[in-house]
Structure 1
């Protein structure tokens, strides 16, 4: 199997099965293994002086290890079966949709249930969020994580093959674990955060553009203009692109101040003129947006897989 065929089959397997608990309860998921390596470097390197330099060395060593493992798995004489299974495990569209929809289901039950579900997919404090705050957090997570968990892995697989997608997931995992600006990780996580920003630079913009062009509720160019104007307002150099596209498609206000580690941020609003009180229906609409975008991606990959199979 060639790369397009492997990727298309992996997309289908992830779409249908997601991460089967029957499998990952018995053997460690690749992301869990990556997390253990990050923990090891955190335990042994994140101490004493020169923490920034040690953090840069740690992520460099993790990146080299990821590329080496990817190359070794790729050359296995197994007709691409292992590669397809690894790529499937490193895609997360099914789980993302499931977790975001769970927030809407929770809100239908009670505000507390909605807060509990959204806390599973965002890093901000959720215990004091009202319904609009819970919905906003879920929708932002849907947009940002679709870029991080689907579009970026696909992009790096197409660019560098199996080593590329493993490299991306290792860096993204490290960023989620040590890349935040807390007292413990402000220096040590610097390298991971910057490399993650670099690896997401192109995929995030591709993701936003795709979301603009597959939406059906508004004029495509109006959403495009909003994305171009509001994406740079986001605190993240990358998350603003899919989030501003989503804000334009749903005509809602996103981002703005939120609480992390007990401190209120001063983040700017995206699409400030949009609906300030999104609800569970908007959460469900956000999953439809990422579903349509996934269909467009899968259809494109499937076309090239078919062409390469025929010719």
Structure 2
């Protein structure tokens, strides 16, 4: 396959995937590959992570053998799924090579769409502000659909902060990084990244969650996602800055280092600085502490910033694909 034809396939696949997301949204759960990944991870998680009974918690903190067993099982089930998924994706992509380039692009676009999601993310975040207009409890309930933290004691501005943080972080996790790995490594790359991100979301915790102890069982999943999300997180922040015709500076670097995540602070820090707002997770971090308190207008502004960043990303990729097609 020539470089020009490869660029045409990628461009068409991105266009088809984006149009499906824009006009049709997510496939039904029964046909959603991320849902299938979740079922696998839920089943294997029960085999890897010990129950959070008092004796299990005590052993988890003191027994090296128990820690190593949980780590080994978590790594084994992660690698098993990763190898199978990459193998299937590789064979499928090879089989598509027998088709005309436009059929390859169309089919890859349909396969790509379930692995990224902007429309649903945008709508769920905007729904937080709509719910807050009804009541604080309604806003908390809507936010609980998006985050794993305890929302019961959050005030209105904290609910909005959490929604914007989730939006910024998932702009990387669910959109930019997904598309980045698709452009870089095709269907095998994007499938591997989506699995790693889903595994981190379900397993990548310290201590107890959902009645099980994940500190060691989820360690491999957490670090694998950190590595695979590393370029996309910084690219996401850069796209956000480019979308408002600014360049990142040392202040973004400092804000990104405030969070415990090596990646989450980049898009969240960029969001806080560009909108001049304060974002925080109580007792954990504060981003742009001198920024304005988030109010009713900022969720909409955050969505607009993300949409501009996505447009800039597509523009940059389009230019690169066009240049590769020519040369």
Q: TM-score, normalised by structure 2?
A: 0.84
Structure 1: tracts of 5 or more residues without a match: 258-265
Matched, 1:5 2:12: yes
**Cα shift at 1:308:** 6.7
Matched, 1:248 2:273: yes
Q: Is contact 2:242–2:312 with CA below 8 Å preserved after alignment?
A: no
Matched, 1:274 2:299: no
**Cα shift at 1:128:** 1.2
RMSD: 2.0
Q: Is contact 2:162–2:281 with CA below 8 Å preserved after alignment?
A: no
**Cα shift at 1:102:** 0.5
**Cα shift at 1:52:** 0.8
- The 3-state SS of whatever aligns with 1:132 is helix
Deviation by residue 1:20-79 (Cα, 9 ceiling, x = unmatched): xxx415x33111111112123223343593111111122111211221121122123453
Q: Which among 43, 46, 60 is matched to residue 43 of structure 1?
A: 46
Matched, 1:59 2:78: yes
Task: State the distance in 2 between where 1:174 and 1:248 align.
Answer: 30
**Cα shift at 1:307:** 6.2
Task: State the distance in 1 between where 2:228 and 2:324 align.
Answer: 28
Matched, 1:30 2:33: yes
Q: Is contact 2:15–2:109 with CA below 8 Å preserved after alignment?
A: no
How do residues 111-260 of structure 1 correspond to structure 2 at under 5 angstroms? 111-183=136-208, 184-215=213-244, 220-221=246-247, 224-257=249-282
**Cα shift at 1:303:** 4.2
Task: State the distance in 1 between where 2:252 and 2:289 align.
Answer: 12
Task: State the distance in 2 between where 1:113 and 1:71 align.
Answer: 45
Task: State the distance in 2 between where 1:206 and 1:302 align.
Answer: 16
Task: State the distance in 2 between where 1:229 and 1:169 align.
Answer: 28
Task: State the distance in 2 between where 1:175 and 1:44 align.
Answer: 16
Deviation by residue 1:123-173 (Cα, 9 ceiling, x = unmatched): 111111111010000000110000100011011111211000000011111
Q: Is contact 1:7–1:301 with CA below 8 Å preserved after alignment?
A: no
Structure 2: tracts of 5 or more residues without a match: 1-7, 51-64
Q: Which runs of 4+ in 1 moved over 4 A?
A: 303-311
Matched, 1:69 2:88: yes
**Cα shift at 1:114:** 1.0
Task: State the distance in 2 between where 1:140 and 1:186 align.
Answer: 24
Count of aligned pairs = 294
Which residue of structure 2 lines up, in the alignment, with residue 300 of structure 1?
316
**Cα shift at 1:304:** 4.9
- Quickly say closer, same or farther: Cα 1:15–1:297, change in 2 above 3 A: farther
Task: State the distance in 2 between where 1:15 and 1:298 align.
Answer: 14
Q: Is contact 2:258–2:285 with CA below 8 Å preserved after alignment?
A: yes
- The 3-state SS of whatever aligns with 2:257 is helix
